[in-house]
Amino acid sequence: MKPSILDRWDHPNSNAAPYVIAEIGVNHAGNIDLACQLVREAAQAGAQAAKFQSYKAEKIACRESPAYWDVSKEPTPSQFQLFKKYDAFGEADYQTLARVCASVDIDFLSTPFDLEAADYLAPLMPAFKIASADITNLPLLRRCAAKGKPVLLSTGASSLPEIEFAVSALRRAGAEKIALLHCVLNYPTPVDHAQLGMIAVLRRVFPDCVIGYSDHVVPEDTMMSMELACMMGAAILEKHFTHDKRLPGNDHYHAMDAGDLGRFTLRCQVYSALRGGNSKNLEFEQAARLHARRSIVAARNILQGEVLSDQNLMAKRPAHGISPVHWDEVVGKVAACAIAEDSPLQWPMVTTGLGPEGAGKGANP
């Protein structure tokens, strides 16, 4: 059975590999067949969700809306112009994509950028994803929260008070399950801007939220930013996904492809196993506890009645006798019997030596 996004709240201490979202966004360029192909590739490579972006240019940006991305990679100078290139999909297209996701056992997600989109997407998705840029968009926060589904909120370009504002607004509007995804709104994000230490900060400041990471670092062979986020305990990971990283413009140049994702999901399974449990499990180390720890042993032949001391005792492996944690309880007592050199002491061999009544009686505390 595939992991559920709800598992992140229902089992907060689980060591399961992170829930990975392949952010297809609008890398399909308005081609529904390509969008379906990308869903299948993401599922085959191991993602738990395929995510899109649902918007209309007229509802998301004014016509005079300057670019905030690297224009050497995406030369479109206006947000409105860029969004207009890729806003072809409507409600019926997202219903189609949701069916394709279900057919390959992957969750369908799409970020709504207006209230109408939030309404028609709600029946199709197990959770809402809200973009960083809408963390102050109170009407949209309220509309998504009121749907009674988990809310995943990216925190790019946001201060902690702004994140607190959004979390409070979501909770007041009905959202019980909230995930915060650390994010940096640089497209692409330089390595020295990634600030993955914020994963730990968000976990400390918002202990009731699931914490994850949305990545915009250009992927190398190992996707180090995603790997480190995984090792730091990010429960949800999101990264843009494409069929061809060589394509110009939009989100291809900082996206992962199926090869990147496949290698990453395999490594995540290893990292999850390496992290192990949240408490020490000594079952795996019983042989070492018994044979590699030490006992109090006779450093030479000890006569019956001889006082046990630092001179005729020493600590040696294995731990088949009295543990040296009891050293101070043994030193000063008397040998209840002759003890051969190198023999581990047992409690019946130790006596207080206090008169006839103590003879032969062990000194086990």
In a domain, 141, yes or no: yes
d(CA 330, CA 328): 5
Q: Provide the pLDDT confidence category of residue 1 given band limits of 50, 70 and 90.
A: low
User: Domain residues for 233?
Assistant: 7-275
Within this chain, do residues 296 and 169 fall inside the same structural domain, yes or no?
Answer: no
In a domain, 347, yes or no: yes
The 3-state DSSP class for residue 29 equals: coil
Range 193-201 average pLDDT: 97
What pLDDT was estimated at residue 362?
60
What pLDDT was estimated at residue 355?
43
What pLDDT was estimated at residue 253?
84
Range 168-191 average pLDDT: 96
CATH number at residue 332: 3.90.1210.10
Q: How many CB atoms lie within 10 A of CB 302?
A: 23
What pLDDT was estimated at residue 104?
97
**CA-CA distances (angstroms) from residue 193 to 188, 254, 257, 264, 341?**
10, 14, 23, 22, 65
Last residue of a domain, one of 252, 275, 298: 275
Instruction: Give the closest residue to 127 by CA, choosing from 269, 238, 230.
Output: 238
In a domain, 145, yes or no: yes
CATH number at residue 127: 3.20.20.70
Q: How many CB atoms lie within 10 A of CB 346?
A: 17
What pLDDT was estimated at residue 70?
81
End-to-end Cα spacing for the chain: 53
Query: Residue 4 pLDDT more than 90?
Result: no
Within this chain, do residues 93 and 198 fall inside the same structural domain, yes or no?
Answer: yes
Which residues are bridge partners to 350 per DSSP? 335
Range 39-54 average pLDDT: 97
The 3-state DSSP class for residue 59 equals: helix
d(CA 131, CA 358): 79
What pLDDT was estimated at residue 356?
43
d(CA 121, CA 107): 13
Instruction: Give the closest residue to 87 by CA, choosing from 64, 118, 54, 110.
Output: 54
Within this chain, do residues 74 and 167 fall inside the same structural domain, yes or no?
Answer: yes
In a domain, 365, yes or no: no
d(CA 149, CA 123): 10
In tens, the pLDDT along 253-262 reads 889 999 999 9
Within this chain, do residues 210 and 308 fall inside the same structural domain, yes or no?
Answer: no
Range 278-283 average pLDDT: 78
In a domain, 28, yes or no: yes
In a domain, 364, yes or no: no
The 3-state DSSP class for residue 345 equals: coil
Average per-residue pLDDT for the chain: 92
Least confident of 125-129, 145-149, 282-286: 282-286
Within this chain, do residues 207 and 295 fall inside the same structural domain, yes or no?
Answer: no
What pLDDT was estimated at residue 361?
53
Residue located via tokens 């409690």: 347
What pLDDT was estimated at residue 363?
63
The continuous run of DSSP H or E covering 359 comes out as: none
Within this chain, do residues 172 and 295 fall inside the same structural domain, yes or no?
Answer: no
What pLDDT was estimated at residue 39?
98
In tens, the pLDDT along 201-253 reads 999 999 999 999 999 999 987 799 999 999 998 999 999 999 999 888 778 88
In a domain, 280, yes or no: no
> How many structural domains does the chain have?
2
DSSP code at position 109: E
What pLDDT was estimated at residue 15?
77
Last residue of a domain, one of 222, 245, 275: 275
Integer-rounded Cα radius of gyration of the chain: 31
Query: Residue 193 pLDDT more than 60?
Result: yes
Within this chain, do residues 233 and 303 fall inside the same structural domain, yes or no?
Answer: no
Range 42-49 average pLDDT: 97
In a domain, 2, yes or no: no
Last residue of a domain, one of 244, 275, 306: 275
Within this chain, do residues 166 and 94 fall inside the same structural domain, yes or no?
Answer: yes
- Report the interhelical angle of 138-145 vs 160-172 (nearest 10°): 40
C-alpha torsion 240→242→248→250, nearest 10: -40
Q: Provide the pLDDT confidence category of residue 364 given band limits of 50, 70 and 90.
A: low
What pLDDT was estimated at residue 222?
79
Instruction: Give the closest residue to 213 by CA, choosing from 188, 183, 185, 190.
Output: 183
Range 66-89 average pLDDT: 87
What pLDDT was estimated at residue 250?
72
What pLDDT was estimated at residue 224?
94
Within this chain, do residues 301 and 266 fall inside the same structural domain, yes or no?
Answer: no
Within this chain, do residues 198 and 313 fall inside the same structural domain, yes or no?
Answer: no
Within this chain, do residues 338 and 306 fall inside the same structural domain, yes or no?
Answer: yes
What pLDDT was estimated at residue 285?
92
Within this chain, do residues 203 and 328 fall inside the same structural domain, yes or no?
Answer: no
Least confident of 35-49, 63-77, 165-179: 63-77
In tens, the pLDDT along 284-310 reads 899 999 999 999 999 999 999 999 999
Q: Provide the pLDDT confidence category of residue 272 given band limits of 50, 70 and 90.
A: confident
